[in-house]
Amino acid sequence: MLAIIGGSGVYNPELLEDLTTAQISTPYGSVEYVQGNLEGQAVVFLTRHGGGHTVPPHLVNYRANIWALKKLGVTKIIATAAVGSLDPHIAPGDFVLVDDFLDFTKSRPTTFFDGQEGKVLHVDMNHPYCPCLREDILTAAQTLQLPMVKTGIYVCAEGPRYESKAEIKVFQHLGGTVVGMTNVPECVLAKEAEMCYATICLITNYAAGITKNNLTFKEVVDIMEVKKLELQNLLRLSIVAARNSDCTCNCFQAATEIGGFKV
C-alpha cells in the first residue's frame, strides 16, 4: 500500500475517492488518517500538521505517524513539503525532488531505537530518499511535462520561526538547495521502518537574504493554492508509476542487522 503525507497547504486528499476517516493507536499516541482509492489502489492520506495547520513543525509526532503507516501496511510514502529556495535560480512555484539532507533540528526524537529492549540501530543514510520511488516521481513529472529540479539537498531547520540571513548563508555555503522544517526526522524514521520514502518539494518563497521581503506563511498558502492542481496530478501519476514499477531497492532491509522493524 502507498501513502501520501501532506505538508503545509496539502490538507485534503482531493485526488482520492471512497474516503473513510479513522484513527489508529501507536506506542507514541493515536493518529488520524484518511484512506481512499485511486484507480483501484488503496491509498492512505495523512496530514503532517493536522487539519488547518494546527501542529508546528517541531511538535509533529513523527514517530506516531510513521509507526501508524507501517501498522496499516504501507510500504511506500510520498511526502510533500513547502520549502524556501536557497538558490536564486530556483524560483517560487518550482518543484524539487530532493535526494539528500542536512539536519539542523534540535529537540526532536529522531529514532525508534533508543535502547529500549536492548535495540539500537545505526541506520544507513546513503540514500535517505528511495531511488526507485524518486524515479517513479520523475517518470510522472516527465509524463506531465512538468519541469522539476531532479536533485537537491534539503536543509531541515528546527522552526517554527523562519531562518536568519546568517543561517541561510551558512546553509548555502554547505551546499543546501532548499530549506524547510519537517523532512527530518520523517525520512529517517521511514528508513528505520523499512519503507520507501520520497519527498516532492514545492518552492513557496526565496529564503531570508535572497529575497528583500519579509517572509510570511501567507506566501506558502498562496503558492500552494496556485500549484494545487499540478501537485495533485503529479501525486496521482506518481502513485500509478509506483504501483507499476519493477525497480528494486534496499529500503526493505534497512533494519536487517537488528532483525527488521516490527510493529
Q: How confident is the model at residue 99 (pLDDT cuts 50, 70, 90)?
A: very high
Helix (H, G, I), strand (E, B) or coil at 25: strand
Backbone angles phi, psi at 203, to 5 degrees: -70, 125
Report the distance separating Cα 155 and Cα 91, nearest Å.
Answer: 17
pLDDT band at 14 (very low <50, low <70, confident <90, very high): confident
The position carrying cell 501498522 is 71
Percent of the chain clearing pLDDT 70 (strictly above): 100
Q: What is the pTM of this model?
A: 0.94
Residue with cell 541506520: 123
**pLDDT value for 49:** 87
d(CA 75, CA 245): 13
Measured CA to CA, the distance from residue 203 to residue 231 in angstroms comes to 12
Supply the pLDDT for residue 156. Answer: 98
Task: Give the three cell numbers for residue 41.
Answer: 489502489
Share of the chain above pLDDT 90, in %: 75
Class for the domain spanning 2-258: alpha beta
Domain boundary assignment for the chain: 2-258
Place 94 in a pLDDT band, splitting at 50, 70 and 90.
very high
Which amino acid is residue 98, in one-letter code? V
Whether the per-residue pLDDT at 116 is higher than 80: the answer is no
Which pLDDT does position 132 carry in this prediction? 96
Residue type, 44: V
CB 156 within 8 Å of CB 101: yes
Does pLDDT of 11 surpass 80? no
Cα 69 to Cα 197, 214, 226, distances in angstroms: 12, 37, 29
Q: Return left, alpha or beta for 225; rule: phi > 0 is left, psi -120 to 50 is alpha, else beta.
A: alpha
Name, in order, each residue with C-beta under 8 angstroms of 108's C-beta and a sequence gap of 6 or more: 58, 62, 158, 184, 185
Per DSSP, 137 falls in state: H
The rounded distance, in Å, linking the Cα atoms of 132 and 68 is 23
- pLDDT at residue 162, rounded to an integer: 93
pLDDT at 50: 81
pLDDT at 61 over 80: yes
Handedness of CA 208, 209, 211, 214 (dihedral sign): positive
Per the model's pLDDT, the better-predicted residue between 117 and 79 turns out to be 79
Instruction: Estimate to the nearest angstrom the gap between the alpha carbon of 259 and the chain centroid.
Output: 26
C-alpha cell at 78: 510520498
Residue range 138-162: mean pLDDT, rounded: 96
* Mean pLDDT for the stretch of residues 197-223: 89
Distances from the Cα of 171 to the Cα of 101, 132, 168, 219, angstroms: 11, 28, 5, 21
